[in-house]
Amino acid sequence: MKQKQRNAIDLDHDAKMNPEERRRLQENIQQWNSNRLSLFEITGPDEDSVFHGVIRFHLQDHISGNYATKCICISSASTTQEVIETLLEKFQHDGTSLPFSYSLYEVLKNQEERKLDLSENPLVVQLNWNKDTDGRFVLRNDGCVTLQDGCVENKEKVGVIEHFKRTLSKKEKKSKKTKNVSSSHSVSDSKANRLTQDYLPLSISLKEKDEESFLLAVINDINSSTIHFKLSPAYVFYLVGRFITSHKPLQSEQKVCGIFDKIVHLIQGVIQKQRNIAVSLAFWMANTSELLNFMRRDRDLCPITLQAQNTLTQLVQQAFRYLSHRLQVDLENQLPAFFADVKKEMAQEKEIEGVLNTFMKTMSLLRRCQVNPALSIQLFSQLFHFMGAWILNRLTAPGSRLCSNYWGKTLQQRLMHVEAWAERQGLELAVDCHLSRIIQATMLLTMTSSSTRDAQVIQSTCYKLNSLQLRALMSKHPYSPNQPHFSAKPEPMKITLKKPLHGGMGVSIVAAKGWTGKLGIFIKSVVQGGAANEDGRLNPGDQLLSVDGKSLVGVSQERAAEIMMHTGTVVSLEIVKSAAVYYGFEGVFTQSPQQM
């Protein structure tokens, strides 16, 4: 019975939903939204009865039993298998356990739980919850079995950190067993009465004569590629500072400053030495950032290590610049794929596979090294900006013939795959900010640009592009001979028209306002056989600025007609050719000359 209640809403997206089912679905969504925060509201169903919503998922740590959470937006068509794959990617899955070893569980308030089938739709399952049966989704590794005493027995071989172990969970903090760091140095948990202090519940002890050799060993003997716990150096350096502060109070301030000066010097040397190795740069950037965070948060170390903190801040920035440059070099080797001439739409993603692989490898590297998320976002912002600038420069390079409708559409399709990847990684804001310029450039290439009205659309749509970029893109656009295109406002010109003494000039006029808001007088038609027709220089759409020195700008049509009637046999005119095209209403002046 409970199973039937949970599946009260069972959507078949392949079948058309009848009006009654759709009405019932909308009511359930409204009821759900009325009891939830706006973040977790569910959208209304579209024409295919698909709706979207944000779900918070929990990942249970098989070692400590603690939970990590992630919120992702999914659709009602997303299956459990697809959700698990996305969650493993977002939870920085290291790949040691295969995706099929994980399962998603529905855990209700009464602790009753159920394993979701891989073909089920979690968003649909969630919609069936109510106040009494509200629950959560928990992602678990089926390769691990939880025992009654709170420990975990792993069916698979679990790696052991040989040199250093990070202990942060509540269960591990309560442990009082001594852990070995090396043959001559030990790391142990702190006493329970020290857990409330502002530093790690760990300590390290070492002899004064071994201090320098120990610090050198941490720098030189650690392999950034093979070490299991990537933040080991940061923890070790911090614990050295805590040891000196705690055990040598009389000379602690001077000693601590000296020790951290040595640490800073060693880190600076290794960053400079390995500035062309991406793995090492990411490793030491992460450790430098983590050590700096520990020092700033430690109430004893913070006030006496200000100089070292300033230097560490500079080292983080230096490592970031080196790493950014190294990754840009790798990315640049793949960027020509954006301009590979493949006309099959199905091949667009494959063409930029190298670019996407570069991004995936970079994300994997940053996650393995446990780089601060803020630094990761900044790094990808740099890469997205570099990619957008590279593509835009290629489009507008001297002699380039890429500013066309075809390449605009092609680049749009290929950039969409980059945007989709970034969204799956939680980088949608970074990609939206730093690729918006090139995306708007591709939109410009696919737009029509034949009138001022089109120019207004371009101005509102392509607002990220400056005037120089707009000019470069539009001037290189290859227009066909008969294709209308946007042009700059033509310059006024003066002509002299001869007409009979008691006759007119042979034109009909109309007053109109362009996008400037000013009223102007335009030639609507040219009379067959009249003076203007015989002269041949006036055409429909031309603007009359003045007649015999009298301005027609801003005057009414009646006043303009009166001025034109009181002219002699020779009339001086100031006109603007094809001004109607510039002001965006050239369609009004398309009629052929006729007898008036």
The CATH number given to whatever domain includes residue 52 is 3.10.20.90
Considering the domain architecture, whether residues 317 and 175 belong to the same structural domain is answered as yes
Strands (E), 212-291: none
Could you tell me if 147 and 108 are in contact, meaning their C-beta atoms sit under 8 angstroms apart?
A: no
Terminal alpha carbon distance of the chain: 87
Residue 242: CA count within 13 A, CB half-sphere = 24
Q: Which residue has the tokens 């008036």?
A: 596
Model pLDDT, residue 268? 93
Considering the domain architecture, whether residues 374 and 420 belong to the same structural domain is answered as yes
Could you tell me if 522 and 553 are in contact, meaning their C-beta atoms sit under 8 angstroms apart?
A: no
Asked whether residue 157 is domain-assigned, the answer is no
DSSP letter at 516 equals: T
Last residue of a domain, one of 448, 475, 502: 475
Asked whether residue 568 is domain-assigned, the answer is yes
Q: How far is CA 286 from CA 224, 280, 299, 320, 462, in A?
A: 11, 10, 22, 10, 38
Considering the domain architecture, whether residues 224 and 354 belong to the same structural domain is answered as no
Per-residue pLDDT, averaged over 365-391, amounts to 93
Question: C-alpha 423: how far from its chain's center?
Answer: 7
- Three-class DSSP category at 496: strand
Kindly report, residue by residue over 498-546, the tens digit of the pLDDT: 888 778 888 999 888 765 667 889 988 888 888 888 888 898 888 899 9
Integer Cα distance of 183 and 532 in angstroms = 104
Model pLDDT, residue 290? 93
DSSP-derived secondary structure for 434-491: HSHHHHHHHHHHHS--SSHHHHHHHHHH-TTS-HHHHHHHHHT----TT-----PPPP
Asked whether residue 159 is domain-assigned, the answer is no
Integer Cα distance of 482 and 401 in angstroms = 19
Number of domains in the chain: 4
Considering the domain architecture, whether residues 397 and 291 belong to the same structural domain is answered as no
Considering the domain architecture, whether residues 8 and 128 belong to the same structural domain is answered as yes
Considering the domain architecture, whether residues 293 and 344 belong to the same structural domain is answered as no
Integer Cα distance of 108 and 440 in angstroms = 47
Considering the domain architecture, whether residues 433 and 302 belong to the same structural domain is answered as no
DSSP letter at 435 equals: S
Model pLDDT, residue 160? 31
Integer Cα distance of 20 and 122 in angstroms = 23
Task: Provide the residue range defining the domain that includes 449.
Answer: 333-475
Considering the domain architecture, whether residues 460 and 513 belong to the same structural domain is answered as no
Asked whether residue 481 is domain-assigned, the answer is no
Overall pTM > 0.85? no
Considering the domain architecture, whether residues 338 and 371 belong to the same structural domain is answered as yes
Q: What is the dihedral of CA 93, 98, 101, 104, to 10 degrees?
A: 40
Asked whether residue 314 is domain-assigned, the answer is yes
Integer Cα distance of 17 and 76 in angstroms = 14
Kindly report, residue by residue over 213-260, the tens digit of the pLDDT: 888 888 888 888 888 888 889 998 998 888 888 776 556 678 888 889
Integer Cα distance of 410 and 399 in angstroms = 20
**Which has the closest alpha carbon to 327: 392, 386, 415?**
386
**Which has the closest alpha carbon to 237: 162, 314, 306, 289?**
289
| CATH number of the domain residue 539 falls in | 2.30.42.10
Residue 6: CA count within 13 A, CB half-sphere = 20
Asked whether residue 339 is domain-assigned, the answer is yes
Considering the domain architecture, whether residues 114 and 132 belong to the same structural domain is answered as yes
Model pLDDT, residue 46? 83
Kindly report, residue by residue over 123-179, the tens digit of the pLDDT: 999 888 876 667 888 888 876 544 333 343 443 333 333 333 333 344 344 444 444
Residue 84, number of CB atoms within 10 A of its CB:
22
Considering the domain architecture, whether residues 377 and 407 belong to the same structural domain is answered as yes
Considering the domain architecture, whether residues 175 and 317 belong to the same structural domain is answered as yes
Q: Which phi-psi region, left, alpha or beta, contains residue 549 (left: φ > 0; alpha: ψ -120 to 50)?
A: left
